[in-house]
Structure 1
Amino acid sequence: MSGEGAPALTVQGAGGLRVVVIASQWHTTVMDGLLDGARRALADAGVDDVTELRVPGVFELPVAAARVTARDVDAVVALGVVIRGGTPHFDYVCSAATTGLTLVAQRTGVPIGFGVLTCDDEKQALDRAGLPGSAEDKGHEAATAALATAMTLADYPRR
């Protein structure tokens, strides 16, 4: 399991942060788990200014992140799942989403929690979705990482 060695992050005092959660619509059961995990992390940290946006798929996450970071937001949480199929489509979508979200974060200085699952099969996705019986909760982890980074950078305003 990929979670071995992960830091034990806790976020406190994040009540004043403005967060946008952007989630894809593919793989409803997995996405429901990822969204629930992100919502729990944000609530646990005291964040109450949360906007949720749904986009068709993972490929659309970067353009949505680019648009919302043009406004006054402190963090973005990007959630999605891509399951490998029999064509190279998996590689193109995963690469485009990763590169796109990275470029948005670098260009804007807004932390983006990367909650995009890139799995070989549905079982792997379900095991990371934060559902009852899942080994990991990647939605919670992505939101916590975005908040922790935003809190760390709070004394360094964006230009």
Structure 2
Amino acid sequence: MATAYHNLSDYDFNSVPDAENMRFGIVVSEWNSNITGPLLEGAVNTLKKHGAKDENILVQTVPGSFELTYGSAQMIKSGKVDAVIAIGCVVRGDTPHFDYVCAGTTQGIAHLNATTDVPVIYGLITTNNMQQAEDRAGGKLGNKGDEGAVTAIKMVDFKRKLQKL
């Protein structure tokens, strides 16, 4: 559903499993930190609202969004997380750099999801301008970090349910 029709922070609280015994990695881009900072804050706060413990939330930074794939892969290899939330922001500019970074990062995260047993949540904001990014980082459209946290909890629960079958 298009974000214009759905607030990223609106969800049914009771539909989210308890995260008390789940471990989360968050890889966050330093680039556009005015956006990624609030996204990180939203993700951490939402994880905690659902029972995640501080010691079970591992946050690491990478220089830019393109490095989210490597950072996520390293989190997975550490064996210390049940899910990874990759947070970044790329704003379109005057060169094709935007297209390469967005495509590479998207493909990298998709590859990790297809080839590892740890879900990597796509928390990359790709916008045409900074206002659109601000709208999705706690602005009028909610916070993509909240959405990423809820998705991570649900995916860990999904995997655990399958393992019990």
TM-score (norm 2): 0.87
SS for the counterpart of 1:33 is helix
The alpha-carbon distance between structure 1 residues 98 and 150, as it changes in their structure 2 partners (threshold 3 A), is same
Give per-residue Cα distances to partners, 1:16-54, cap 9 Å, x unaligned: 111000000011211111011101111011111010000
Q: Distance in 2 between matches of 1:66 and 1:156?
A: 23
1:63 corresponding residue in structure 2: 70
15, 22, 28: which one pairs with 1:17? 22
Question: Counterparts of 1:136-147 in structure 2 under 5 Å?
Answer: 136-147=142-153
* CA distance in 2 between partners of 1:39 and 1:2 (Å): 21
CA shift for structure 1 position 134: 3.1
Q: 1:104 to 1:9 in 2, by over 3 A?
A: farther
Q: 1:151 to 1:3 in 2, by over 3 A?
A: farther
Cα deviation 1:34-78 (Å, max 9, x = unaligned): 011101111011111010000000000001111111132211011
Task: Please state if 1:109 is matched with 2:117.
Answer: yes
User: Relative to structure 2, which stretch is displaced further, 62-71 or 88-97?
Assistant: 62-71
C-alpha spacing 1:65/1:9, structure 2 compared with 1 (3 Å): farther
Q: Which of structure 1's runs of 4+ aligned residues deviate more than 6 A?
A: none
Q: Distance in 2 between matches of 1:77 and 1:65?
A: 8
Q: 2:46 aligns with which of 33, 41, 49?
A: 41
Contact 1:9 1:144 in 2 (8 A): no
User: Going by fraction, where is helix more abundant, 1 or 2?
Assistant: 2
- RMSD between superposed Cα atoms in Å: 1.7
Q: Conserved in 1, the CA contact under 8 Å of 2:25 and 2:75? A: yes
For structure 1, list consecutive stretches of 5 or more residues without a partner in the other structure: none
- Range with greater deviation from structure 2 (63-72 or 75-84): 63-72
Pair 1:124 & 2:127 matched: no
Between the two proteins, what is the percent identity of the paired residues? 35
Match of 1:2 in 2: 3
Counterpart mapping for 1:66-85 below 5 A: 66-72=73-79, 73-85=81-93
Specify every segment of 5 or more residues in structure 2 that has no aligned partner in the other structure, as ranges: none
Q: Distance in 2 between matches of 1:3 and 1:18?
A: 31
Amino acid at match of 1:29: N
Q: Decide whether the 8 Å contact of 1:37 with 1:139 is kept in 2.
A: yes
Contact between 1:20 and 1:76, CA under 8 Å: does it hold in 2?
Answer: yes
Q: Indicate if the aligned counterparts of 2:137 and 2:143 stay in contact, CA closer than 8 A.
A: yes
- Per the TM alignment, residue 4 of structure 1 is displaced from its structure 2 partner at its CA by 2.7
